[in-house]
Amino acid sequence: MKSGGDSTTIDVEARSASKGKGPVLAVHHVKEEKGGMKRGMAIIDLVLRIGAIVAALAAAATMGTSDQNLPFFTQFFQFEASYDDMPSFQFFLIAMSLVAGYLVLSVPFSIVSIVRPHASGPRLLLLILDLVALTLATSAAGAATSIVYLAHNGNASSNWLAICNQFGDFCRNVSGAVVASFVTVVTFMFLILLSALALRKHH
């Protein structure tokens, strides 16, 4: 009977139509889940980036204000400890200032990653620039650490005297600056890891 044949045809078409809608809905659901996960990672990125800004600014500001003059002096000598007497500390101040400036400029790109979690361009740019900033911050922290160690302990073979017994405030300030710089370095490591994971999930 023709009506029977027609009903069979209609039934097959209805099944195929219902089967076609299922995968589409599933794909949209998966995309929404990935978008939510990436947006959450982007929010964490922004929070960490703000924390790194605070740490880098604290490191630069503490080093820049670490000068100390001893209360006693002679007619020809005034005993002073200053960061600009040591090239490693000068490099530290310049490097951490550059890192802090970069972090401030990177905040809008991090916000773009929150608004558009599926966009990989801003995340890739941040990953590359974060690697450069991490290298700069690590080199600055390492260079300053060696001088801080000598300031605390000295070096008898090179006649480098420990000065922290006399310039206690200076040593505390530069030591705090070095600690803040290493906090910045660790934060950069987490930022790079987040960016790498977000890019990996994008593909």
Domain-embedded: residue 14: no
CB 80 within 8 A of CB 67: yes
Q: pLDDT band for position 26 (50/70/90)?
A: very low
> Token pair for residue 143?
């260079």
Domain-embedded: residue 140: yes
Domain-embedded: residue 73: no
Q: Which domain covers residue 133, as residue numbers?
A: 50-64+83-201
Structural domains of the chain, count: 1
Could you give the CA distance from residue 150 to residue 144 in angstroms, rounded to a whole number?
A: 10
CA angle 32, 36, 37 (to 5 degrees): 120
Domain-embedded: residue 181: yes
CB-neighbour burial class of residue 186 (10 A; exposed 0-12, middle 13-18, buried 19+): middle
The gap from C-alpha 38 to its chain's centroid, in whole angstroms, comes to 17
Q: Is 117 helix (H, G, I), strand (E, B) or coil?
A: coil
Q: Rounded mean pLDDT of 171-186? A: 94
Domain-embedded: residue 177: yes
Q: Does the structure show a pLDDT above 90 at 156?
A: no
Domain-embedded: residue 147: yes
Q: pLDDT band for position 184 (50/70/90)?
A: very high
% of the chain residues with pLDDT over 70: 75
Q: pLDDT band for position 178 (50/70/90)?
A: very high
The string of pLDDT tens digits covering residues 35-66 is: 577 788 889 999 999 999 999 999 999 998 88
Highest mean pLDDT range out of 15-29, 64-78, 116-130, 153-167? 116-130
